[in-house]
Amino acid sequence: MDSVMRRNPFGVDICCRKGSRSPLQELYNPIQLELSNTAVLHQMRRDQVTDTCRANSALSRKRRVLTPNDLKHLVVDEDHELIYCYVPKVACTNWKRLMMVLTGRGKYSDPMEIPANEAHVSANLKTLNQYSIPEINHRLKSYMKFLFVREPFERLVSAYRNKFTQKYNTSFHKRYGTKIIKRQRKNATQEALRKGDDVKFEEFVAYLIDPHTQREEPFNEHWQTVYSLCHPCHIRYDLVGKYETLEEDSNYVLQLAGVGSYLKFPTYAKSTRTTDEMTTEFFQNISSEHQTQLYEVYKLDFLMFNYSVPSYLKLE
């Protein structure tokens, strides 16, 4: 009994939001007493994160204290007492759309009627860094916190394909492409140095593992580790959703929030989606030395979210 109580710091005392139960109560004190398979699965995912943080504490708790600046990715929904940490390239556009529906107080009903670019306008959603410290702590304690994760190298290939192989992403080509080509390509043409629009995956990887890159500035959010974006060793997430089970996990969150009867995760089959086969293909040309160094960069994400070392890797 003791361990259950310890694991459930949210006893019965968080009560009664507008006469209904909060998502945290639904999650940790369900009305039906036998634990569903889903609840057990999510408990295992939480434990995996906790155990990884503990086992790698030298790595994972480098920084003792979070500052409001670390909380820019945590989107807050006060009406349903939810906090969502968004990770780019893990269905974050659709989840931001859902958060706009949830926080819009009737302004939107169908998430897919919200244009994608609109979902990424920061003013459309409130993030946790905009609150005072006591308000932040209160929300971290009493709201249900969740995030969605994806196999780290598949997410990386997805980011590369989206930002460096699409002609329309000129801001990324200028901001990062030119820098990557300047550093990683011998005898680059003047045009390549000016445009930065033909970065090869090998050059992108070399840039990511270059110690100079990490000293110079934090990674862009599209390839930053989940560990650094969402701080799962400092913030105890109640739910870890996975890209592989995106629909089930998303609808479980919506169900816990009490909106499952009228709001569902948008189903869509994206034909351009980055797959495991594509990822394997991209890694063919990466030397085993670079693969090993890249794995080190994303290692905590692999371990924490229970992704095994990809079979295509030739680690040293």
In this prediction, residue 19 carries a pLDDT of 54
In this structure, the number of other CB atoms found within 10 A of the CB of residue 25 comes to 21
In this prediction, residue 146 carries a pLDDT of 98
Q: Residue 238: which pLDDT band, with cuts at 50, 70 and 90?
A: very high
Q: Residue 139: which pLDDT band, with cuts at 50, 70 and 90?
A: very high
In this prediction, residue 36 carries a pLDDT of 85
Answer for the pair 116, 258: CB distance below 8 angstroms, yes or no.
Answer: no
CA distance 113 to 115: 6
DSSP letter assigned to residue 237: -
pTM over 0.75: yes
Residues linked to residue 17 through DSSP beta bridges, in sequence order? 20
Mean pLDDT of 218-243: 96
Q: How do residues 21-48 score in pLDDT, each as one tens digit?
A: 899 999 988 877 666 899 999 999 999 9
Question: Which of 2-16, 19-33, 124-138 has the highest average model confidence (pLDDT)?
Answer: 124-138
Tokens standing for 59? 């790595």
pLDDT value at 1 more than 50: no
Mean pLDDT of 219-247: 97
Q: What is the mean pLDDT of the chain?
A: 90
Answer for the pair 213, 207: CB distance below 8 angstroms, yes or no.
Answer: yes
Q: How do residues 59-100 score in pLDDT, each as one tens digit?
A: 766 667 889 999 999 999 999 999 999 999 999 999 999 999
CA distance 300 to 230: 13
Q: How do residues 281-302 score in pLDDT, each as one tens digit?
A: 999 999 999 999 999 999 999 9
pLDDT value at 198 more than 60: yes
In this prediction, residue 262 carries a pLDDT of 92
For 101, counting Cβ atoms within 10 Å of its Cβ (0-12 exposed, 13-18 middle, 19+ buried), the class is buried
DSSP letter assigned to residue 17: B
